[in-house]
């Protein structure tokens, strides 16, 4: 235990600590999209992509190199939902997601 800060030091990289914040499946590179690319595709901020991930609206994935991102299918499904949803439905979901995220 680190007596100065009152907590034990973090033991190495996240993978070695034995947990992940979100379980991500490894997918082919053509089925994977980076989070910034997903944000540009959806026309939202990186924070909104994080909220969509945390609330299960986007599916986390790793590409073959092990980089974190999302599945292209989940981005296309979100894009389709956004094209068909009413303003009220979008606002309601944004509020629900914001409460669930924080």
Cβ neighbourhood burial of 33 (10 Å; 0-12, 13-18, 19+): buried
The answer, as to whether pTM is greater than 0.75, is: no
pLDDT at 21 (0 to 100) = 57
Average pLDDT over all residues of the chain: 82
pLDDT band at 22 (very low <50, low <70, confident <90, very high): low
Lookup: tokens for 3: 């007596």
The mean pLDDT value for 62-91 works out to 94
φ, ψ dihedrals at 95, nearest 5°? -65, -45
pLDDT band at 18 (very low <50, low <70, confident <90, very high): very low
């Amino acid at each position: 235990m680190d007596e100065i800060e009152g907590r034990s030091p973090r033991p190495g990289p996240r993978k070695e600590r034995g947990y992940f914040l979100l379980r991500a499946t490894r997918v082919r590179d053509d089925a994977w999209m980076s989070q910034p690319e997903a944000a540009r595709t959806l026309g939202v901020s990186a924070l909104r992509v994080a909220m969509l991930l945390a609330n299960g609206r986007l599916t986390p994935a790793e590409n073959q190199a092990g980089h974190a991102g999302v599945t292209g299918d989940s981005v296309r499904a979100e894009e389709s939902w956004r094209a068909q949803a009413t303003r009220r439905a979008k606002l309601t979901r944004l509020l629900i997601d914001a409460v669930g995220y924080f």
